[in-house]
Amino acid sequence: MKKLVAIMLAATMLVAMSVTAFAGNSTGGDAILTTSITPTYTVTIPANTTVAFNATKTDFGKIEVTASQIHPDKCIKVELTTDGELNNAIDNRKVIPYIIKDSNDMPFTYATYLTEGDKTDLFIHITTDDWNAAYAGDYSDTVTFTVSYENKN
């Protein structure tokens, strides 16, 4: 009796494990593959720079996109903010005006970038007249770079 029950259970398990395949008129099917890439980018900005006395044009370095995987309808925007005056450390009313320009000699306020390798060379311009009018002392100013991810215009 135990043998008979064991055989019946084994047969039932075999039937339950079998997979039935039916032939039909199907000619194929579709498989959808997907992936997602999160936007990433790396932007380098100029480092601290010393302007030599009487230099009318000083290399300020460059803004450069060193890595970029962004959406096709987006861009990387870099804005530069400054008051355009080097301030005397003893008397902040004594200033040396300056302008930051790009390699086309145009004042730089912002630029948009799309791909790795996009860059803007920057230069600090101080006129001879402004150097001649400056008081002795140490001068400094802070230049702020703001990087954002925006829609293309």
Long-range contacts of 52-56 (CB under 8 A, 24+ apart): 53/131, 54/128, 54/131, 55/126, 56/125, 56/126, 56/127, 56/128, 56/131
- Of the candidates 150, 68, 151, 78, the one whose C-alpha atom is nearest the C-alpha of residue 114 is 68
* Phi and psi, residue 2, nearest 5°: -65, -35
CA-to-CA separations, 135 to 21, 99, 132, 143, in angstroms, rounded: 93, 19, 8, 22
The pLDDT value recorded for residue 23 is 56
Tokens at 78, concatenated = 């870099």
Per-residue pLDDT of the chain (153 residues; tens, 9 = 90+): 555 545 554 555 544 555 555 556 667 889 999 999 999 999 999 999 999 999 999 999 999 999 999 999 999 999 999 999 999 999 999 999 999 999 999 999 999 999 999 999 999 999 999 999 999 999 999 999 999 999 997
| pTM of the entire predicted model | 0.78
Q: What is the pLDDT of residues 34-45, one digit of tens each?
A: 999 999 999 999
The pLDDT value recorded for residue 142 is 97
Element (H, E) at 113: strand 110-113
